[in-house]
Amino acid sequence: MDRRIKNIDTWRKHLPQKPRRMPGAYYSQSRAKRYKRVVTIIWTILILFLLQSIFQAKIFKVDKIKLINNKDLTVEELSATLAEPLSQSRFLIFKNDNYFLLKTKPLEELLVNTYNLDEAQIAKKFPDTLKITVKEKASYFMWQKNGALYLLDAKGFLNRQIEAPDSKYLLLEDRREWQATSDEIFSREEVDKINQIYLKWPELIADRLILSKIAINNDWTLDLYTNSGFYIKMDAKEDIVPQIEALARVLKAGTISGGDINYIDVRFGDKVYFK
């Protein structure tokens, strides 16, 4: 054995060694990491506050509505409908009514479904306005049932509920015990009878009486109310046109006035009855 190698430690010390960690260096790295983390948190908070100040600034709060192409809808109705979705929170600290955060597509779908519209288009107008263009279904009548009012189209289908009577439309007061189970309020035959009165009245009667309401009874007899103080009885199960023509002849004779009678009954052909 070579006597120059005294023990194993003599040559092991010449092998590459792992660097030793100095206590001070470890402390410096840990402190640097904590400092970086704190700085990141502070900047995140500052950015959030900055974003909040921008996104919740009153100047960018959408609180104005410009309504275009409307016939029955009002700005007040739309404002009430949109109030809740606009006030909802976004990302916990923001509001949905901010110009930059607001998404218009869900609002369009809400209006179409709520008001039974053919179409609704919403465009944001900087910095605080919604420009809402609507395409409403054409309404011809108001239908009154159990104290509630609804608009109907020319085919007798339900458009939407309204809050108060509108003089643009003929009022149909439904006194039948029948209850609607779908949007089809009147059958094709029934609405044809109503349309005959609606179309023939201006042609034959309008210069003498203004028709304000048609009351529909269980047996489909009709009571037509006017501005004269009396009403007219008709039978929707029979041909409507001859009944209107009979009324026109009586009115043309000029022998009646509103204070003399309660109603005129034209349901029996050429025979007209007064009460």
- Retrieve residue 263's tokens: 């109603």
Task: For the chain, give the mean pLDDT.
Answer: 85
148-152 and 141-145 beta bridge pairing: antiparallel
76 and 128, same domain (yes or no):
yes
Are 119 and 171 in a shared domain?
Answer: no
Q: Is residue 24 part of a domain?
A: no
Residue after which a domain boundary falls, among 118, 135, 152 = 135
Report, as an integer, the average pLDDT of 244-256.
85
Tell me which residue range forms the domain holding 83.
Answer: 60-135
Classify strands 64-68 and 129-135 as parallel, antiparallel or unpaired: parallel
- For residue 69, what is the domain's CATH number? 3.10.20.310
Picking from 161, 155, 112, 156, the residue whose alpha carbon sits closest to that of residue 136 is 112
Q: pLDDT, tens digit, for every residue of 197-209?
A: 999 999 898 777 8
pLDDT surpasses 80 at 180: yes
pTM of full prediction above 0.75: no
Instruction: List pLDDT tens digits, range 114-138.
Output: 999 999 999 999 999 999 999 998 8
Q: Is residue 174 part of a domain?
A: yes
Average pLDDT over residues 141-170: 92
Cis link prior to 127 (omega < 30° from 0)?
Answer: yes
Asked if 129 contacts 68 with a C-beta cutoff of 8 angstroms, the reply is no
179 found inside a domain: yes
Are 176 and 241 found together in one domain? Answer: yes
Do 99 and 125 lie in one domain? The reply is yes
* Same-domain check for residues 236 and 208: yes
Residue 7 forms part of a structural domain: no
Judging by DSSP bridges, how do beta strands 271-274 and 231-235 pair with one another? unpaired
Same domain, 128 and 230: no
Q: Does residue 64 belong to any structural domain of this protein? A: yes
Q: Has residue 102 been placed in a domain? A: yes
Q: Which of 135, 151, 170 is the last residue of a domain?
A: 135
In a domain, 17, yes or no: no
Whether 1 maps to a domain, the answer reads no
Same domain? For 158 and 216 the reply is yes
Sheet with 119-125, side-by-side order of all strands = 64-68, 129-135, 119-125
Structure tokens at 89: 């929170």
> Is residue 170 helix, strand or coil?
strand
Q: Residues 192-238: pLDDT tens digits? A: 999 999 999 998 987 778 999 999 999 999 999 998 889 999 999 99
263 and 157 co-located in one domain: yes
Number of domains observed in the structure of the chain: 2
89 exposure class (CB count in 10 Å sphere: 0-12, 13-18, 19+): exposed
